[in-house]
Structure 1
């Protein structure tokens, strides 16, 4: 990676990136929950509070992501403060991008773009993958449009939402499903 855990701030004010450790799990769970669920998430634009209730994640799932042998959770910090995170996982010739969260009060200020760009760069550098893939709740048209402006495209594939499994939240509507998005990374390198 371009930065180390000992760097607390770059002169240009950009976030510092580092892989998460097990000690980061409580802060990561709090960040993800604040970005997507409950009233605190409404301060940003990535809220899912109108689509889902309940939890977005839990310590066990985040611990698993942090310790995944073919992946990592990337943190973005400034002066030691956690600003954003994402999960990366190598899946053959592609990398999976998930658990993307930016503190609600900072959304819209460029942190998300910086994290996504670093994740793409890191996936190519670390694993040599040719593409990044993700799933986004189809009803999140604003979020899908944000990814499309950054070069992602809809594949036309969908996955069902795991109704009945409260680890993923409590759906507030019956028609949720995940749209698959992909971006070719080799053209960017």
Structure 2
């Protein structure tokens, strides 16, 4: 098996991260994987400006997964008191289903628990994403039933193609 590494992104990685996120969620390229939102959200998922702003924040970071000198996955984590927020998780579509996602989740959980002393990880997932939610549940994440509305009318989140979108909170307690 080819070895892999994890590293924290730098501002020089902003364009690469934005491209990876877009390819995993939107447009035709995203259809090569199973995480696509292309059937119910059009438009952009993020851009370089948003990634740069997140990279300069003091409480968050992007974690990058590299194999053979290629970035194949990224995610954003942010310390919010005792909680580690986990978001913008993206795996290069042709590499989805190869176990990379599991490795990234495990790395983030270890980091959040051991470096940030986080008590739990929290994320939001569009609640119609049954297959994605089931994937997280198999990794110990629990649906909370707590939701928040999708930001209709805010093109920074995409152009919805249906009117029943909302985010659901998933959490995982971290044990030492």
Give TM-score, length-normalised by structure 2: 0.98
Please say if 1:67 is aligned against 2:56.
yes
CA drift at 1:43 = 0.3
The number of residue pairs the alignment matches comes to 176
Give the secondary-structure state (helix, strand or coil) at the position aligned to 2:58. coil
Q: Quote the residue 2:78 is aligned against.
A: 89
Contact 2:77-2:84 within 8 A present in 1 as well: yes
Task: Write the deviation string for residues 66-99 of structure 1: whole angstroms up to 9, x where unpaired.
Answer: 1220111000001221100000000111100001
CA distance in structure 2 between the partners assigned to 1:135 and 1:116 by the alignment? 15
8 Å CA contact 1:15–1:76 kept in 2: the answer is yes
77-86 or 38-47, larger mean C-alpha shift:
77-86
Q: CA RMSD in A?
A: 0.8
Gap runs ≥5 in structure 2: none
Deviation at 1:27, TM superposition (A): 0.6
Unpaired segments ≥5 residues, structure 1? 1-11
In the superposition, the TM-score normalised over structure 1's length comes to 0.91
Residue number among 36, 40, 49 corresponding to 2:25 in the alignment:
36
Conserved 8 A contact 1:15-1:111: no
User: Could you tell me whether the CA contact under 8 Å between 1:65 and 1:72 is conserved in 2?
Assistant: yes
Number of the residue aligned with 1:27: 16
